[in-house]
Structure 1
Amino acid sequence: MTTVGTWNLENLFTPGGPFGPTTPDAYEAKLAGLAEVITASGADVLAVQEVGEPAALAELAGRLEGGPWRQATSGCFEDGHPIRVGFLSRLPFEVVADTAAFPGALAPVQRADEGAPISRMGRGVLAVRVTEDDGRDLLLAAAHLKSKLLSYPPGPGGRPRFQPRDEGERARVAAYALYRRTAEAVTVRALADRFLAGQGRERRVMVMGDMNDGPEAATTQILLGPPGSELGTPGADRPDHGDGARLWNLAPRIPEGERYSRIYRGRRELIDHILVSHALLGRAGDVGTLRAGRDGLPSVTDDPAARRDAPASDHALLRVRLGAAQP
């Protein structure tokens, strides 16, 4: 059995910079909270998002039980807020892809009222080949798509704004974010196509991370590939010619009471996802979420700076236990 998970670590930076905890004590509390949940999850491999500094991820790995834990982080991120995806693993792995460029046929998209359009993801998608204890390989891709939490061009003094000047600006910035998230979903799907190569019945592929949209959102649906056999539909258990190219979102297998990974203004959302190829669908038996602390997830607002000294994360950890592979 192999347990694979994904977790947005919420701005994992060392203290003293513009994004991380303001004190060493707050940083230690954050590391302790993260380590507690990861240990409780039983994860063998964890895709992570919002790693601000590889050094902070290494410190987190040093606090985990059952080590040694290996780490890898993407080299693709934005300089202004250098959060990136990565992996923690106590199984051996190798990096097989670290990319951010949109597929060649996809035109650049508008990102703001002014300035050049962009042709790259804000945070790259990192993929690794993990060797399970039985010697078989898993191809795992970690992604973090553009957030729905909107930020606006700085005002006087260069301070970031989290509220628009008017509703026209709010609508435009929301559209730019959606353009980017859609293009990023296409980019992740292109990498999945490369790994699947139409052989998803045999190739053990997983795509996971913070997709910043729910299971039914158009951006999330792009990741699935050919439609028609989603879990919970009449075609889910029927062989289909598209099975070699499909990915299945495991969201319907999460117990209904746990089926959320963030709370935004009091509303529960499932925006973190694990998708698997046909070769892994039968092995994906136990799917669930874990939250830090006794009080569960906090309700977040549009100001990410408000949680700068908060312990652990504002997301739930999502994990799946893969049963033994068939001979």
Structure 2
Amino acid sequence: MRVATWNLENLFAPNASAAAPASRATYEAKIAALASTIAAIAPDVLAVQEVGSPPALDDLAAALPGTWYRETADPDGRGIRVALLSRRLLREVEQVSDFPTGLGTVQVDDDGRVIAGLGRPALKATATFGGKKVHVVSAHLKSKLLTFPGGRFSTSDEAERARYAVYALHRRAAEAAGIRAFVTRLLAQSTTNTAAVVVAGDLNDDTQAATTQILLGPPGSEIGTIGFDRPDAGDQQRLWNVAPHIPEADRYSRNYRGRRELIDHILVSEPLVHGVTAGAGPAPAPSIDDQPDARRDRPGSDHRPVYVDLPA
């Protein structure tokens, strides 16, 4: 079973937003490029991010070989959302939008505006493979890209930059905690064995970032550590990031100002972690900066997909 995640970069119908393709021809070129990559990596379930209206996802599904089931979450203020595409029927669909109990609201700007849940709801659905239910969560945490008052993406005021970096970091951490709380409940619901859970998405930070680490659960047993092959009581609540299984030279999903970053991740629960392999592709990824609309008419995506092959 192959599960993949991919940020599709502003999959909007033509002229639906400032970042959408400006013409039908450029939109169709984007759909064709996305479909070609998805067909090449051939996932069974694909978690996607930055989907505009659901009809755009329908167009992508129609461009893929075979039958693809799809589910979408509610959009954020920019009109983008996460979704799931699957060659297997998707059941038990559920949005994840709440911060964990006990965590208060999070301030997001200088005006004191606060949020009480995920800015972009995550989406969970269940697919069945070989008689085994696998819960897949598609997630897209707050971007590292800072947005300043008036829709600006840059500032010469360093005090303002520092404040908005804190707002973004607090929001990303709270969103990670919300998804972690949902997964904790999902794992606890299993009455026999630990549930088979995959969290896949654009986490907007690297493997060792504190926000990414929140999702792991109990510490001490990450892939590559001396404790990995030693079962302990924490395993039933853990998620493992499969990033170490991606060949080191290929371990990136975005090229930011010429620097390779792995910010798109797949994490799996205990029944799935042993015997996995992982990869990313295709390469290379275009180098991007802090102007999100600069690639408006470019085909494909500014991210690379990341995938994991799970044991049968």
TM-score range, shorter chain: over 0.9
Deviations 1:21-61 (A, max 9, x none): 00111101100110011001010110000001110000000
**2:309 paired residue number:** 321
**2:292 paired residue number:** 304
2:250 is aligned, of 221, 245, 258, to: 258
Given the alignment of the two structures, is residue 49 of structure 1 paired with residue 49 of structure 2, yes or no? yes
1:269 is aligned, of 258, 261, 265, to: 261
- For the 8 Å contact 1:198–1:245, the answer to whether it is kept is no
- For the 8 Å contact 1:74–1:125, the answer to whether it is kept is yes
| Distance in 1 of aligned mates of 2:124 and 2:23 | 33
1:216-255 equivalences in 2 (<5 Å): 216-255=208-247
**1:9 paired residue number:** 8
**1:84 paired residue number:** 81
Unaligned runs of 5+ in 2: none
AA of the residue aligned to 2:85: L
**1:157 paired residue number:** none
The offset of 1:101, in angstroms, is: 2.0
**1:192 paired residue number:** 183
- For the 8 Å contact 1:201–1:278, the answer to whether it is kept is no
1:1-327 equivalences in 2 (<5 Å): 2-18=1-17, 19-65=19-65, 67-75=66-74, 77-79=75-77, 81-132=78-129, 134-154=130-150, 160-197=151-188, 202-284=194-276, 286-291=277-282, 296-324=284-312
Q: SS of the residue aligned with 2:115?
A: coil
| Distance in 1 of aligned mates of 2:115 and 2:201 | 22
Q: SS of the residue aligned with 2:88?
A: coil
Q: SS of the residue aligned with 1:307?
A: coil
Unaligned runs of 5+ in 1: 155-159
Q: SS of the residue aligned with 2:106?
A: coil
If the length of structure 1 is used for normalisation, what is the TM-score?
A: 0.92
Deviations 1:234-256 (A, max 9, x none): 00111111000000000000001
The number of equivalent residue pairs is 310
| Distance in 2 of aligned mates of 1:33 and 1:20 | 15
The offset of 1:201, in angstroms, is: 5.2
| Distance in 2 of aligned mates of 1:258 and 1:138 | 27
| Distance in 1 of aligned mates of 2:194 and 2:104 | 33
- For the 8 Å contact 1:48–1:142, the answer to whether it is kept is yes
Deviations 1:57-98 (A, max 9, x none): 000000101x211111002x323x011000000111114320
Q: SS of the residue aligned with 1:191?
A: helix
- For the 8 Å contact 2:96–2:179, the answer to whether it is kept is no
| Distance in 1 of aligned mates of 2:193 and 2:219 | 16
| Distance in 2 of aligned mates of 1:198 and 1:129 | 14
The offset of 1:194, in angstroms, is: 1.2
- For the 8 Å contact 1:95–1:126, the answer to whether it is kept is no
CA RMSD of aligned residues (A): 1.3
| Distance in 1 of aligned mates of 2:106 and 2:209 | 19
- For the 8 Å contact 1:204–1:277, the answer to whether it is kept is yes
| Distance in 1 of aligned mates of 2:281 and 2:211 | 25
| Distance in 2 of aligned mates of 1:95 and 1:169 | 43
If the length of structure 2 is used for normalisation, what is the TM-score?
A: 0.96
The offset of 1:283, in angstroms, is: 4.1
Q: SS of the residue aligned with 2:135?
A: strand
The offset of 1:198, in angstroms, is: 7.6
The offset of 1:202, in angstroms, is: 3.1
- For the 8 Å contact 1:122–1:146, the answer to whether it is kept is yes
Q: SS of the residue aligned with 2:104?
A: coil
AA of the residue aligned to 1:146: K
Identity of aligned residues (%): 53
AA of the residue aligned to 1:29: A
